[in-house]
Homo-oligomer: A and B are copies of this chain.
């Protein structure tokens, strides 16, 4: 469907890095140097990039596609923590502290990634205070997200967590249609369930409960949000 981007010219690489938030205001020559030594890596949907526990000596920038960041539990269970989109950077934790990867990463769609090696990156980090500053901001943002996730697990049931997630998806990837906000990302109910740490069946039942109340409309795998306010309310622990 999407045009495959199998290669990236030098100019495109520079653009990608410069466009990324963490390299804003960083010395341009240094960024260009990084762009020069970066590897291009393409992945097909479903292909594995790295696993929890691996040594992590690279930082990734998404040029194209979608990468699922997840952790695994007993019996093959998986919890999806985030989806990385074009322009996003990930893999910074293990790169920065030199320990093993805390999560796994898998292509959720065909992808093109820029791979920045550890040593050239750390070299720029050592000399450029702006990069350090932006990395700190990135890490703070991640911390806030993580804390939110913990809060959701601790205080909300399936219904509340699903409501929040749909609300978030509708805002981030919603397309306005006459029926309501259509959620752009094609997510199966199983994938949705994996983002919430619940079963697919339970998600299915809650979606239909909302469809019955006209909060949502379900149309062959796509979800259309008809009543954002009701979702918002359901996400609050104050029940209706």
Contact = CB atoms under 8 A, between A and B. Distances in A.
Majority secondary structure, A binding face: helix
Contact of A143 (B132, B146, B197): B146
B237 A143 contact: no
A36 B154 CA distance: 41
Given A73-B154, A155-B73, A96 B140 contact: yes
Interface in A111-158: 126, 129, 132-133, 135-137, 139-144, 146-147, 149-151, 153-156
- Per assembly, the copies of the chain total 2
Nearest to A198: B154
Contact of A79 (B133, B140, B155, B238): B155
Nearest to A94: B140
Interface string A69-105: 0010111010101000000000001001101001100
A73 B151 contact: yes
A45 B197 CA distance: 36
Interface of A: 71, 73-75, 77, 79, 81, 93, 96-97, 99, 102-103, 126, 129, 132-133, 135-137, 139-144, 146-147, 149-151, 153-156, 197, 236-238
Q: Which 7 A-B pairs have the closest CB atoms?
A: A73-B155, A74-B237, A139-B139, A153-B153, A146-B146, A132-B132, A97-B140
